[in-house]
Each structure stands twice: as structure tokens, then as C-alpha cells.
Structure 1
Amino acid sequence: MAQARKFFIAALAATAAAAAASAAHAQHTASVQTNSTVTVFRPITLTKNTDLSFGTVVRPLTGSGTVLINKDDGSRSLTGSGALLNTGNPNSQAAPGRATYTVNGEGGQTFSITVPPTFNMTRTGGSENIQVVLTPSATTGLLSNALGQAGSATFGVGGSIIVDTNSAGGAYTGSFTTTVAYN
């Protein structure tokens, strides 16, 4: 009987070992299906429609004046001393007003608008500068229409300058870079 018991234990051990080996072999690999997606946007583009123009300003005899071009509607105003003339800048013939832009790209998408806080305009034929403080009408925008269609949006950039008794007479010009990017 002891012999039969040893045989039974040995058989049971062999069966357990074979089952363990079979289970280990069954878990050698595993698979799962994975999906993949992509959304393709048309390129974002920016077109300048009009430049920022402060028009013609008469410097004050005393003190200073701040000329403001409204970022939302392009209207021009003066606080302090000096005067505004109702003529455009003789250098560019542009009427006073804000810079305006059109953005085109993928419909329904948001984008960011970046302009520098300031830049300098330099007097033609001289080295004198007038600093321009820029103000965009928004820092973000939303393109019209829906995903899969072309979309567009517009915005403006206004600004302000200070003219004082020491401002040299003449035409001033300068430029700044406006950037848009998908969010």
C-alpha cells in the first residue's frame, strides 16, 4: 500500500506539473486590437487688410498728447495737448485707422493672436523714434463654419503714441509682426 501511495503522489505531482506547463504555454502571447485616429486641418493663413495709421498729428506747443487708434472700430482720439488733422499720413496716404486682418483655416477651430506690446517708428531721414503701444482687439479667435469646412475670422490692432514738444517733425514709419496659431 505504501508503494501505491507513492505512485499516486508521483502521478498527482506529474499531472500538476503537466497542467502548470500547459497553462504557462497558453499565456505565452496576448493580443488586442488598437484603433488609430487623426484629424487633418487645412493650414492657417493670415492676411493684412489695412495698416495701422495715426494720420497727421500737430505736436503741442507745451506738454504732450496721446493719440489713440481704437482697437475695435479704428476711431482716432487725442487726449492732452496737440491737434489731429483730418488728412491721412502724407507719407503713406493711409487714412487714420487700426490695422485689420483676416484669418483663414479649418472651420470651428480656435486660434491665438500675438502682437508685440510695443515697437518704434523712426523718423524718415533721421534717428528719432516714437514708441507705439499696441492693443489687439482680441488675443484669441474662432474660425467660422465647422470642422471639415473652410473657416474665416477677422480682428484688428489699434495702438497709441505720445507726441510732445520735443517730437521732431516729419514722417515716421515702422513695422511689427502679427502672428496667429491654432490653439
Structure 2
Amino acid sequence: MKKILFVSVMLFAFAMGAYSQSATTTASASAVIIAPLTITVQTNLHFGTVMRSAAAGTVTVSPTDGSRSALGGVTLSALAPLHSRAVFRVDGETGRTYSISLPATDVLISNGTDQMEVNTFTSDPTPTGSIVAGTSTLYVGATLNVDANQASGAYTGTFDVTVNYN
């Protein structure tokens, strides 16, 4: 009988301990709302008018100052249309930074039958930009590869520029 009483008391004691133990804490919930990041083309990239020759060459437009240079068998012309670096407006949350992604592979531009490669895309700023007063300006340049005796014509194509918040 003493054993039954002892076991009963012990079970009751452990059961009471299990019910009397509890703990509570408070956690907070929060959120930060920011303006969406958008990018808009202000000026398209244009290599200007170039004269071909029997030798291949390249034309590069700088994103930093918009200057144009040539190497190899191409001659730069002052005839219209004139060259221009690409200009983008990036809008977002003031004080935030963003990363810039440019084409990593060749982009083809065409006159409808013939093609040329555009590559070595660069930007200013690079590799990140900052939003000041809700906006930022992003400049993009690249290199145009002109084949020997490249066919005449107006060549066009597109390329993607992506920005993401850091």
C-alpha cells in the first residue's frame, strides 16, 4: 500500500510540474516599403556613320564621356546620324544602390540581310549605381565589330540592360 501511495504521489507531482511550466515572449513584426526600381531609355546607343574598307575594324562608344574611337579598317564620319552613348533613367528609393547587368555575349545588329556584332558593353557607373533624390542616370557604351567590306545599310538591333536593388 505504501508503494502504491508513493507511486501515486510521484505521478501527481510530475503531472503538476508539467502543467505549471510555461514561458512567454513577445516578438515584433516589421516591414520596409520602398519604391519599385524602374529603368527607362532616354537615348539609344548609336555608333554613328562609319566608312568601311577592305580591312575589318571596330568602333567603340565610351559610356563615360560619349566619345567615339575606331581601330583597324574603319573611318569615322561626321555625317548624320551622329554617334551617342545609351542613356537610361533609373528611378527608385533614395539612398539605395542597384547592380547593373549588361549583355555578356555578342549582340547582333542587322540591315535586314547582313549582320554585325556588338560586344564589350560597359557602363558608367559600374558595377553599381546609387539612387539620389529618387533617380539616377546610367550610361552604356559598347564596341561595334565591322567586317572587311561590310555591306552598306542602316543596321539595328536591341540589347537588354537590367538593374536590381542590392
TM-score range, shorter chain: 0.7 to 0.9
Q: How much has 1:14 moved relative to structure 2? A: 5.3
Query: SS at the partner of 2:103?
Result: coil
Instruction: Map 1:79-158 onto structure 2 (within 5 A).
Output: 79-89=71-81, 95-117=82-104, 118-123=106-111, 126-137=112-123, 138-145=126-133, 151-158=134-141
Distance 1:11-1:167 versus aligned 2 partners, 3 A rule: same
> Structure 1, unaligned stretches of length 5 or more?
1-5, 90-94, 146-150
Q: Does residue 49 of the first structure (1) align with residue 49 of the second (2)?
A: no
SS in 2 for 1:20: helix
Retained in 1: the 8 A contact 2:56–2:146? Answer: yes
Among all aligned residue pairs of Structure 1 and Structure 2, give the percentage whose two residues are the same amino acid: 36
Query: Deviation at 1:67?
Result: 0.7
SS in 2 for 1:86: coil
Q: Aligned partner of 1:85: which letter?
A: S
For the residue of structure 2 that corresponds to 1:47, the secondary structure is strand
Structure 2 residue runs without a partner (length 5+): none
Q: Is the 8 A contact 1:134 1:157 kept in 2?
A: no
The higher radius of gyration belongs to 1
The structural deviation recorded for 1:112 is 1.7
Secondary structure at 1:71 match in 2: coil
CA distance in 1, matches of 2:16, 2:75: 96
Q: Counterpart in 2 of 1:92? A: none
Please say if residues 55 and 149 of structure 2, whose CA atoms lie closer than 8 Å, have aligned partners that are also in contact: no
| TM superposition score normalised by structure 2 | 0.86
AA of the residue aligned to 1:44: L
User: Shift in Å at residue 33 of structure 1?
Assistant: 1.5
- Tell me which amino acid in the other structure corresponds to 1:161: L
- The offset of 1:13, in angstroms, is 5.8
Find out whether 1:31 has 2:24 as its counterpart: yes
1:72 aligns with 2:64: yes
> Aligned pair 1:19/2:50, yes or no?
no
Partner of residue 150 from structure 2, selected from 133, 148, 167: 167
- How far, CA to CA, are the matches of 1:166 and 1:37 in structure 2? 63
Shift of residue 164, structure 1, vs aligned partner: 3.3
User: SS state of the match for residue 150, structure 2?
Assistant: coil
Compute the RMSD of aligned alpha carbons: 2.1
Whether the 8 Å contact between 2:39 and 2:89 is mirrored in structure 1 is yes
Q: How many residues align?
A: 163
